[in-house]
Structure 1
Amino acid sequence: MPAFSHPQKMNTPRQDMSVILVTGSYDHEIRFWEAWSGICSRTIARSGESGQVNRLAISPDKRLLAAAIHKKVNIYEIASTANEPLVTFEGHTMNVTAVSFHNEGKWLVTGSEDGSIRIWDLRSSSLHRIYDNGAPVNDVVIHPNQGELISCDQAGSIKQWDLSDNICSHELTPAADVPIRSVTLASDGSCLVAGNNNGRCYVWRINDEHTGLPRFQAVTRFQAHNKYLTRCLLSPDARYLATCSADTTVKIWAILGNYEFKLEKTLMGHQRWVWDCAFSADSAYLVTASSDHTARLWEMSSGETVRQYNGHHKAAVCCALHDGAG
Structure 2
Amino acid sequence: MESESESGAAADTPPLETLSFHGDEEIIEVVELDPGPPDPADDLAQEMEDVDFEEEEEEEGNEEGWVLEPQEGVVGSMEGPDDSEVTFALHSASVFCVSLDPKTNTLAVTGGEDDKAFVWRLSDGELLFECAGHKDSVTCAGFSHDSTLVATGDMSGLLKVWQVDTKEEVWSFEAGDLEWMEWHPRAPVLLAGTADGNTWMWKVPNGDCKTFQGPNCPATCGRVLPDGKRAVVGYEDGTIRIWDLKQGSPIHVLKGTEGHQGPLTCVAANQDGSLILTGSVDCQAKLVSATTGKVVGVFRPETVASQPSLGEGEESESNSVESLGFCSVMPLAAVGYLDGTLAIYDLATQTLRHQCQHQSGIVQLLWEAGTAVVYTCSLDGIVRLWDARTGRLLTDYRGHTAEILDFALSKDASLVVTTSGDHKAKVFCVQRPDR
Which of the five TM-score ranges fits, normalised by the shorter chain?
Answer: 0.7 to 0.9
User: 1:43 Cα deviation (Å)?
Assistant: 8.8
Specify the alignment match of 1:90 in structure 2.
Answer: 173
1:192 to 276, 285, 290: 276
User: 1:231 Cα deviation (Å)?
Assistant: 2.1
The answer on whether the counterparts of 1:26 and 1:317 sit within 8 Å (CA) in structure 2 is: no
2:383 to 291, 296, 315: 296
2:333 to 236, 241, 247: 241
The answer on whether the counterparts of 1:280 and 1:286 sit within 8 Å (CA) in structure 2 is: yes
The answer on whether the counterparts of 1:230 and 1:275 sit within 8 Å (CA) in structure 2 is: yes
Change (3 A) 1:141 1:49: closer
Q: Deviations over 1:228-273 (max 9, x none)?
A: 22222223446432323322x2514143425x2424242525x4x4
Specify the alignment match of 1:153 in structure 2.
Answer: 235
The answer on whether the counterparts of 1:155 and 1:178 sit within 8 Å (CA) in structure 2 is: yes
Matched, 1:67 2:148: no
The answer on whether the counterparts of 2:275 and 2:288 sit within 8 Å (CA) in structure 1 is: yes
Matched, 1:133 2:218: no
Q: Which residue identity is paired with 2:334?
A: A
Count, aligned residues = 295
Specify the alignment match of 1:111 in structure 2.
Answer: 193
TM-score normalized by the length of structure 2? 0.57
Change (3 A) 1:177 1:221: closer
Supply the distance in 2 between the matched residues of 1:76 and 1:300 (Cα, whole angstroms). Answer: 38
Matched, 1:318 2:406: yes
CA RMSD across the alignment: 3.8
Supply the distance in 2 between the matched residues of 1:295 and 1:45 (Cα, whole angstroms). Answer: 28
Which structure features the higher share of strand residues?
1
User: 1:222 Cα deviation (Å)?
Assistant: 1.8
2:247 to 130, 155, 165: 165
Specify the alignment match of 2:264 in structure 1.
Answer: 180
Specify the alignment match of 1:212 in structure 2.
Answer: none
Does the residue aligned with 2:285 lie in a helix, a strand or coil?
Answer: strand
Q: Which residue identity is paired with 1:100?
A: E
**Any residues of structure 2 matched to 1:203-218 within 5 Å, and which?**
203-207=287-291, 215-218=292-295
User: 1:201 Cα deviation (Å)?
Assistant: 0.9
Change (3 A) 1:240 1:24: farther
Q: Which runs of 5+ in 1 are unaligned?
A: 3-9, 208-214
Change (3 A) 1:118 1:217: same
Specify the alignment match of 1:223 in structure 2.
Answer: 300
Change (3 A) 1:117 1:315: farther
User: 1:17 Cα deviation (Å)?
Assistant: 3.0
User: 1:69 Cα deviation (Å)?
Assistant: 1.9
Specify the alignment match of 2:348 in structure 1.
Answer: 257
